[in-house]
A and B are shown apart, each in its own frame.
Chain A
Amino acid sequence: DIQMTQSPSSLSASVGDRVTITCRASQSISTYLNWYQQKPAKAPNLLISAASTLQSGVPSRFSGSGSGTDFTLTISSLQPEDFATYYCQQTYSTYTFGQGTKLEIK
Chain B
Amino acid sequence: EVQLVQSGAEVKKPGESLKISCKGSGYSFTNYWIAWVRQMPGKGLEWMGIIYPGDSDTRYSPSFQGQVTISADKSISTAYLQWSSLKASDTAMYYCARRYSDSGAGYWYFDLWGRGTLVTVSS
Contact = CB atoms under 8 A, between A and B. Distances in A.
Interface of A: 1, 31-32, 34, 36, 38, 43-46, 49-50, 53, 55, 87, 89, 91, 94-100
Given A43-B95, A43-B115, A50-B103, A96 B110 contact: no
B29 interface: no
B114 A44 contact: no
B62 A1 contact: yes
A67 to B, nearest CB: 13
Taking chain B's interface residues, is the majority helix, strand, or loop, or is none over half, making it mixed? strand
B47 A96 contact: yes
Q: Which 8 A-B pairs have the closest CB atoms?
A: A43-B113, A95-B47, A100-B44, A97-B45, A49-B109, A50-B107, A91-B108, A34-B109
A36 B111 CA distance: 10
Nearest to A1: B62
B97 to A, nearest CB: 8
Contacts of A91: 106-109
A87 B37 CA distance: 13
B72 interface: no
A103 to B, nearest CB: 14
Nearest to A100: B44
Contacts of A99: 44
Interface residues of B, number: 23
A97 B63 CA distance: 13
Interface in B74-106: 95, 97, 103, 106
A92 to B, nearest CB: 8
Contact of B109 (A43, A46, A100): A46
B116 interface: yes
A102 to B, nearest CB: 10
A24 to B, nearest CB: 15
Contacts of B95: 43-44
B10 to A, nearest CB: 17
B47 A94 contact: yes
B61 A94 contact: yes
A34 B116 CA distance: 20
Given A43-B113, A43-B114, A97 B44 contact: yes
